Structure 1
Amino acid sequence: MHARQAGRFRSATLLLGSAGLAISGVAVAVRLALGRQARIARRRIGKPLGEDALHADRIWRPRLPGEPIELLLLGDSVAAGLGAQRRKDTLGGRLAKGLARRTHHPVRLRTEAVVGAESPDLGAQLAALEDDYLPQVGVIVVGGNDVTHRIPVSVSVRHLQDAIVRLHALGAAVVVGTCPDLGALRPVPQPLRSIASRMSRRLSAAQAQTAIEHGATAVDLRRAVGPMFFDRPEEMFSLDRFHPSALGYRRTAEALLPAVTAAAEEALAKRPGPVAMIAEAELSSPAR
């Protein structure tokens, strides 16, 4: 290499190195700024609701005829119903009441969803089920905490897939409510809110694809109820401005109910009728 070429090479190397330092400096500044915004958001949101959702598990509409439909809820604080002031206003309560009204059967609700849960926690929620518990419909709503805790999408959907497969092995039809659009969270300042919105949309799309590929029904909550949370935040959010209000849960349940009802009707169609049950009992009884 000639002396002039060597000098140009050194100059270019120094220039690239300086550019790299500048870019690194910008990245650090951006991370620090986003960290400050996250702290601001946490202060604004606060925790006026506490850490526990209302316990809504019971048989809903028990006076209706027939055996109860077994409805299982998995996921995070939205699935658990945090923010609702009455049991009937939780997501589980809304789904159970609506399902009983549509199918004319009682519904036994079981909620294993946990406040603060992420997709990797779905396995532990399923592990908490007794060996003889057989849900007929499993509803999964999870994803918001995956976004705020920056869990890779590939990790989130892998755990979602595992949960769907395990529910199917138990004989349950599965409905997945995809990650809501976190861009509706007004207490989160910009540009952090826009970043969270993009991340939640990406996770929602991946969840829907995973659900469909593994035989579950996906309900795009971002499209179904997202505009309401954007346009009417004072009504749709609870006191912490993060979790749904009673109206927010009502609209979310209404978006999920058609898929949940279809899953339950499929399960009811598989139940043996009275004649089949008598024949099965006769076959299983010892010969005299």
Structure 2
Amino acid sequence: MGGVRAIKALVVAAGSVGGLSGAAYGLLNGQSRRARSIIGTPRDLPLNADGLYLPNGAGPFAPTRSDHLSFAMLGDSLAAGLGVESPDQLPGVRLAHGLADELDVPVRLMTHAVSGSRTTDLEAQVDRALINPPDLALVIIGGNDVTARTSIGASATLLGRQVARLVETGATVVVGTCPDLAIIRAIPQPLRTIASRYSLSLARAQRRVLDQMGVRAVSVAALLAPEFGARPHDLFSADRFHPNGKGYEYAAAVLLAPLCTAARSSRVASWSGT
């Protein structure tokens, strides 16, 4: 998610879609300024630790061997890991370690996710991923669509189109649907309620499209919001908008099970011998 830029865009979206009065719009603008002052502007690029991870917990290594499961991360800052304190805390790294251990195969992590991405940016990420198509892919996208006034229907359709491109290459794809932005306490009320309504509506639209395709969808909102809502000081980074290392550790623990289930029920299972 985009943080400061996202908050400003959300106010515009609320005014244009909700038909707010001048006084209400002014209130939201004031809240937006306060939220942006709290969140601040990220100054560092997300860390990266792509490479080969072994079942014994070692890695990353240069991918010099071919007998591995290739695993791709696509989407926005939640997939890229913006907010972690060290490379070993990245969600892709934690998931690569978990997959290698659970499936008992070497796993090559390839991160194509870019912080601030919207679903309209997913095409370029898929283009890069398809240069060396993954066996397994996790996509997390949608938070920035909410704050950019992207049509919910158009956003979900674009997601389905790009996921289909991955599936057509034989990749097994799991999608983490849009998170509930209500957990971001730096967004004051009533702006937070507006963000929550948009994000949950988008998550439902994403799931409908993915269900029609037979692609596994994981509700990030349902699985993560209760814990993040209860432990904001423990699980968010200093910007109060993105998770910290502990937050991504919790998220990866929740996402690992559906990834393993998807892998075992697909060609990945027969390839890996699990």
Q: Which TM-score band (shorter chain)?
A: 0.7 to 0.9
Aligned residues, how many?
A: 248
Superposition deviation, residue 185 in structure 1: 0.9
Look up the match of 2:8. Answer: none
CA contact (8 A) 1:136 1:171 kept: yes
Do the aligned partners of residues 26 and 169 (structure 1) sit closer, same or farther apart at CA in structure 2, a change above 3 Å counting?
closer
- After the TM superposition, which of the residue ranges 25-34 and 153-162 deviates more from structure 2? 25-34
Do the aligned partners of residues 93 and 25 (structure 1) sit closer, same or farther apart at CA in structure 2, a change above 3 Å counting?
closer
Cα distance per residue 1:197-241 (max 9 Å; x no partner): 111111111112222211211111111111011110001111111
Look up the match of 1:276. Answer: none
Measure, in 1, the Cα distance between the counterparts of 2:76 and 2:263.
22
- After the TM superposition, which of the residue ranges 72-81 and 148-157 deviates more from structure 2? 148-157
- Partner of residue 28 from structure 1, selected from 22, 28, 32: 22
Measure, in 1, the Cα distance between the counterparts of 2:109 and 2:43.
23
5 Å-filtered alignment, 1:128-167, equals 128-129=128-129, 131=131, 133-167=132-166
CA contact (8 A) 1:69 1:105 kept: yes
Superposition deviation, residue 50 in structure 1: 2.1
Superposition deviation, residue 25 in structure 1: 9.3
CA contact (8 A) 2:103 2:272 kept: no
Gaps of 5+ in 1: 1-23, 274-288
Do the aligned partners of residues 33 and 129 (structure 1) sit closer, same or farther apart at CA in structure 2, a change above 3 Å counting?
same
Instruction: With a CA cutoff of 8 Å and minimum separation of 6, indicate the structure with the bigger relative contact order.
Output: 2
Cα distance per residue 1:154-173 (max 9 Å; x no partner): 12101110111001011101
- Scaled by the length of structure 2, the TM-score of the pair is 0.84
CA contact (8 A) 1:182 1:197 kept: yes
Look up the match of 1:118. Answer: 118
- Scaled by the length of structure 1, the TM-score of the pair is 0.81
**Does 1:97 pair with 2:97?**
yes
Gaps of 5+ in 2: 1-17, 58-64
Look up the match of 2:75. Answer: 75
Look up the match of 1:7. Answer: none
Amino acid at match of 2:28: L
The structure 1 segments of at least 4 consecutive aligned residues displaced by more than 4 Å after TM superposition are 62-66
